[in-house]
Amino acid sequence: MQVFEAFIATHRPVAPSFHPHYELALSTMLDAGGKRFRPALLLAVVSAYNTLLLEGAYHGAYAIELLHTYSLIHDDLPAMDDADLRRGHETLHKRYDEVTAVLVGDALNTYAFEVLSEAPFSDATRVKLIRTLAKNGGLGGMVLGQAIDCHFENQPLTIEQIKILHINKTGKLIATALEMGAIIAGQKALQKPIYDFGLKLGLLFQIQDDILDVTQTSEEAGKTTNNDEAKNSFVTLLGLEKAMQEANSLASEIEEQLLSFEESLQGELSPILTTYINRHKD
């Protein structure tokens, strides 16, 4: 991922003006690092089929990371989770102010599509990528999940409703990263199965986050933990032991489904997923 980090460094969001901190704030959370999980998935799919397309694929990977980072900035706002820590650093509304955090999130959201529009692909491929990211990151995807999450605080949902919530809030952006990789690689037949695989992976990722929220300190997690008591999490509904069982079952399904993909794809995804599939057991 070093080459990808270099790409980010040369495509930093730039807005020179007399504002005292707006431009610096644009890069604060990007520079804080993070797992880069979604970009790694996209690049793994492309690498499995055609490494010559990787240079162009960095645009798609960066667009995913920009959109994800905007979602974290907004998720941490006082009106939502009111968190003080993200990626091991102060959240933007704490470091600067709430207005700055809102506007930086807005800016990174739109910059994601600017970066994607400049990817060195055909117009048709760029449109597919933009549509896929917008559809899954927007009103019927990640934003919908966030809306459900916030509206139903202190109102217990069923397990199926919680799955719908988190498939939208977390799963769809992870699934999109994999699907965008298949689009860039020209693997049309792979797009639906890899997207469905990503939804399952995203659900596991959320269950794990819910588990880690109650088993890790803020310092260990790099973000504010024990902050979900009023939220509809898998742990608040099922309890820690049953949430662990749910995660274990889903992890086994994902490992089995991974074996159904071509060897080249397995070879690229396995090192990434091995790190995450069982992270709730650490």
Cβ within 8 Å of residue 159, ≥6 positions away: 237, 238
Q: How many domains does the chain have?
A: 1
Cα–Cα dist 243/247, whole Å: 6
Rounded CA gap, 165 and 145, in Å? 5
Reduce the DSSP state of residue 47 to 3 states and report it. helix
pTM: 0.94
> CB neighbours of 212 closer than 8 A, spacing ≥ 6?
221, 225, 279, 280
pLDDT value of residue 39: 98
**CA dist 77 to 73, 91, 165, Å?**
7, 8, 19
Boundaries of domain holding 171: 2-281
- Consecutive 10-residue runs of the chain (282 residues): their mean pLDDT? 93 95 95 92 98 97 98 96 91 96 98 98 98 98 96 92 95 98 98 98 94 80 64 90 94 95 97 86 66
The whole-number pLDDT of residue 230 equals: 67
Q: What is the rounded CA–CA span in Å between residue 50 and residue 178?
A: 15
Q: Which CATH number belongs to the domain containing residue 218 in this structure?
A: 1.10.600.10
DSSP bridge pairs for 89 = 86
The two tokens of residue 133 are 């990211």
Give the DSSP letter string of 13-26: ----SS-SSHHHHH
CA distances, 68 to each of 19, 42, 74, 75, 174 (Å): 25, 14, 10, 10, 10
User: d(Cα 212, Cα 235) in Å, to the nearest integer?
Assistant: 10
Angle between helical axes of 37-49 and 191-215 (0-180°, round to 10): 150
C-alpha 215: how far from its chain's center? 21
